[in-house]
Amino acid sequence: MKVFVVAVGTTALVATALVAVPATATPLPAAEAPAVTPTPRAEVKKSFMLYAKFTSRHEASYGNAKRVGNLVVTQGTVSDSSDKKVGTLTTVMRVVRPSAKGDAEFRDTQSQVQLKDGQIFAQAVNEDPKSGPPKTLHVMPITGGTGAYFSARGTLVLRPVGDKYLMAYDIFVEKQSDSARFTFDDVVKQTVTGDAPQGIGNVTLTHAPGGADSYVSVATRAGAKRGVVTDSIDLQVFTATGSLFARTIARSAGAAKAQNYAILGGTGSYAGYGGELTLSADGRSITAKFVAPRGKSSRTRWLEDTGDGVTGFAIAGGTFLAVQGRQFKASNKKKDGDFYATRTTYDEVNGVTPIVGMLQQRFNSGTMIVSGITLTDGSDGKTIWRPIIGGTGDFGGANGEVSSLGQSSGLWLKTGKIWR
């Protein structure tokens, strides 16, 4: 692998501007509301169907005999019921574990549809054939969107129909929002390259400090064709009181340009938030439009074991962990479902170590997707907070945050603050 480090636009600043950002944002007590007074929300339901056809599939393999950690990227076109092309589809999948079915495996699947009026994101752990696209129906939580699909929540039903896939969307979006602007002093990038076709799996890590605020992003190469580079990017903005987690599929050809991201969730004072943010072309500022959750949240607690699977496996730019484990009721420790979890600990960039985590919590009453970037894995005894970015069943449309704290018993205590 090759590693490149680039510092962009470093400026002379007072020392306080370069203080390391806290590993996680501490949630505020209920009395300490977000700094922005939420605007009353106008929610609109959108239900529609699209048809997708996959046109390419590429894979980055890292040598694990069970394929765990392999990155699979598919691209396709999206059409309406009249077979008119209306957009594109990109799926970025990481193999979590093999299935009991010899020809199948479980993958952390991130789906993005790009339409003329915006992006729609979905995510779930799906069981699919090793060598091809899905053959069965999948129900995936909608995790966010941009443009006309601003702050989208809901479900995507994906079903094979001949040589295409019916994509049935049932989502809620917001019509009103508040805004905030964040500025940063330095932008430091580090790139790690592999040897997969089209650079699939190459990683660019970015850290941008700026006084009390900062952001970290992880851009994973999803393709390169005819001079156009496609990256799947996760970005987390850290502030003194909370954080915002966002995602985009970015296509670029030449000069840098501003990028729009869907805000999938947040922690602390931004717990339960959704919306959209724009990162400037130079990476030095972010403008965010967001909506706060409506109504009262509920709290739930449970315990988890550490699971079993593959740990500490090397991939481009870091190490990968993927496990399946059991959940227990906090009150009596009776089994209450199971979970899939992935965690990628990336190389240090500018003094911080980005850790991208994903958990699919599968309760008896539904599933919940938890994801985000942290700067600690909790082994130091500190509590970790990650955003809730979607769910199904009783957790359909869920947002909020989950804290994780290691226990002396070897279990993890999870506390969810949830808006449905």
Q: How many domains does the chain have?
A: 3
Q: Is residue 123 predicted with pLDDT exceeding 50?
A: yes
Same domain, 108 and 196: no
Q: What is the pLDDT of residues 349-369, one digit of tens each?
A: 999 999 999 999 999 899 999
Of 174, 203, 235, the one marking the end of a domain is 174
- In-domain check, residue 3: no
Q: Is residue 19 predicted with pLDDT exceeding 50?
A: no
> The CATH number of the domain where 251 resides is what?
2.40.480.10
Q: Is residue 68 predicted with pLDDT exceeding 60?
A: yes
Q: What is the pLDDT of residues 300-309, one digit of tens each?
A: 999 999 999 9
- Sheet architecture: strand order including 242-252: 2-8, 187-193, 203-210, 213-225, 228-238, 242-252, 259-268, 274-279, 285-291, 178-183
Same domain, 90 and 195: no
Given this model, what pLDDT does residue 175 score?
78
Closest CA to 221 of 208, 213, 233, 239: 233
Of 174, 193, 227, the one marking the end of a domain is 174
Q: Where does the pLDDT of residue 31 fall: very low under 50, low under 70, confident under 90, or very high at 90 and above?
A: very low
- In-domain check, residue 399: yes
Residues in the chain: 420
Q: Is residue 297 predicted with pLDDT exceeding 80?
A: yes
Report the mean per-residue pLDDT for the chain.
88
What are the φ and ψ backbone dihedral angles of 197, each rounded to 5 degrees? -60, 145
Closest CA to 168 of 129, 144, 138, 126: 138
Same domain, 135 and 169: yes
- In-domain check, residue 28: no
What are the φ and ψ backbone dihedral angles of 362, each rounded to 5 degrees? -110, 95
Given this model, what pLDDT does residue 153 score?
95
Given this model, what pLDDT does residue 41 score?
54
Same domain, 189 and 272: yes
Q: Is residue 184 predicted with pLDDT exceeding 70?
A: yes
Same domain, 390 and 323: yes
Same domain, 401 and 318: yes
Q: Is residue 40 predicted with pLDDT exceeding 90?
A: no
Q: What is the mean pLDDT of residues 233-257?
A: 93
Same domain, 168 and 196: no
Given this model, what pLDDT does residue 144 score?
97
Of 256, 276, 291, the one marking the end of a domain is 291
Same domain, 324 and 347: yes
- In-domain check, residue 397: yes
CB within 8 A of 74, min separation 6: which ones?
A: 54, 56, 57, 58, 89, 90, 91, 93, 133
Q: What is the domain range of residue 279? A: 177-291
- In-domain check, residue 9: no
Given this model, what pLDDT does residue 42 score?
64
